[in-house]
Amino acid sequence: MITAITSSQEAIELEENYGAHNYHPLPVVLTRGDGVFLWDVEGKRYYDFLSAYSAVNQGHCHPRIIHALIAQAKELTLTSRAFYNDKLGIAEKYVCDTFGYDKALFMNSGAEANETAIKLARKWGYTKKGIEDNKAVIVVARKNFHGRTTTIISASSDPSARNGFGPFMPGFEMIEYDNVAALRQALANPNVCGLWIEPIQGEAGVYVPQPGYLKVAADLCKQHSVLLMMDEIQTGIARTGMMLASDHEEVHPDILILGKALSGGVLPVSVVLADDEIMLVIKPGEHGSTFGGNPLAAAIVVEALQVVKDENLAVNAANLGEVFRDRMKGLMEKTSLVKLVRGKGLLNAIVINDSPESETAWNLCVQFAAHGLLAKPTHGNIIRLAPPLVITEEQIHECCDIIESVVLKYNQ
């Protein structure tokens, strides 16, 4: 039995030999995290510019969240929902008050929360909107990313997510993201029960829609009696400079879907929020999860969200996002290798001036890592840059210096 890793090489070989090859990681083996920093097994320190796909907005191993984890783990971790526990109700009230909904339904992964939202929207469509049985349609956007289950990939336009995994679940209609005319047309179908979108398409490459798009989408949903199902799993919890990305346009989705940073990256917790008229269409026995709503997760969620509020992380993300994009715009003036910078708050991406099939973005990320900064391409030539929201202005400048020097050297 191997009890400890002695080198990065050993850890990589173990994963290659014994793990499924469903990811293509950068060749870095991490062993410790603290705030904005990660350390590899050889002791090299890195700035984390991925934040576990925006799950560690509060920074790695935040002391308050870890304290909540340990304290609750010593008392009670799992009861299942066959019984009540003394933490779930507190967490449910906390998230309902924080986000302005009547009811919360806790799950574990983001994909499960999205599955929950699909079931809620369909059941609402049949029982409240009067859609004929099995005819409900959910409108989705091209280039979406909502997770990896067979139902969710049925709503995906990404061949690498879908190919070889059919047959697919019916009941989705795909339209262009950020296209009001397409939205207007699709929502007019009386069988549509939900519009399921991300307020910014994260995995697609941090695609920010035109100002006003979300507001129009919300208005059209209201007009056609369609539920707005907002997947804020990546954009929520202060990442884009407000508690929710929907807040930028004062949009209050009918169904709000959260995950990732809800636990500060400590364990998988997701939640779906809605008002009674929607949430109570699901009756006992119709949906659930053994781990969903466990007391350990419940205690952590309350502390993780309170940290976001106490440390003003949304304001920090808004301010430092401006600083970051200004620096990247400055870099664009010095090189043609960076074609575009886009994003909101501290969810940003740079688009590399090369074909999506080229290795340039990957090679740049390998170079960033060599210089102490971890980031990853999203799709081909797009590099997402999303540090923990506890980063300081001085640190953002230091990271921009790293990015700038690597890009400028690469250009020579």
Min dist CB 198 to ligand PLP, Å, is 5
Nearer to ligand PLP, 72 or 378 (CB): 378
Point out which span in 74-82, 140-148, 322-330, 342-350 binds ligand PLP (CB under 6 A).
140-148
Q: In what order do the strands lie in the sheet with 103-107?
A: 103-107, 270-274, 255-258, 227-231, 192-197, 137-141, 172-175
Min dist CB 221 to ligand PLP, Å, is 19
Any idea which residues carry the catalytic annotation? Answer: 145, 231, 260
Min dist CB 80 to ligand PLP, Å, is 21
Min dist CB 163 to ligand PLP, Å, is 19
**Exactly one of 208, 233, 349, 375 binds ligand PLP (CB under 6 A); which one?**
233
Min dist CB 155 to ligand PLP, Å, is 11
**Residue 115 touching ligand PLP (CB under 6 A):** no
Task: Detail the DSSP E strand segments found in 7-78.
Answer: 30-34, 37-40, 45-48
Site map for ligand PLP, 185-224, x if CB under 6 A? Answer: -------------x---xx---------------------
**Exactly one of 125, 147, 199, 388 binds ligand PLP (CB under 6 A); which one?**
147
- Say how many residues make up the chain: 412
**Residue 344 touching ligand PLP (CB under 6 A):** no
**Residue 106 touching ligand PLP (CB under 6 A):** no
Write out the two tokens for 315: 């304001």
Do residues 66 and 407 lie in contact, with contact meaning Cβ atoms separated by under 8 Å?
no
Supply the DSSP string of 161-214, one letter for each residue. HHTT--S--S-EEEE-TT-HHHHHHHHTSTTEEEEEE-SSBTTTT-BPPPTTHH
Point out which span in 108-116, 133-141, 214-222, 372-380 binds ligand PLP (CB under 6 A).
108-116
d(Cα 78, Cα 47) in Å, to the nearest integer? 34
d(Cα 109, Cα 314) in Å, to the nearest integer? 23
Q: Exposure of 18 by Cβ count < 10 A (0-12 exposed, 13-18 middle, 19+ buried)? A: exposed
**Residue 265 touching ligand PLP (CB under 6 A):** no
Count the site residues for ligand PLP by CB under 6 A.
15
Min dist CB 270 to ligand PLP, Å, is 7
Point out which span in 9-17, 226-234, 245-253, 278-286 binds ligand PLP (CB under 6 A).
226-234
**Residue 292 touching ligand PLP (CB under 6 A):** no
Beta bridge partners of 352: 338
Strands 270-274 and 255-258: antiparallel
How many alpha carbons fall within 13 Å on the CB side of residue 55?
A: 15
One-letter identity of residue 362: W
Where do contacts with ligand PLP occur on this chain (CB under 6 A)?
A: 53, 109-111, 114, 145-147, 198, 202-203, 231, 233-234, 259
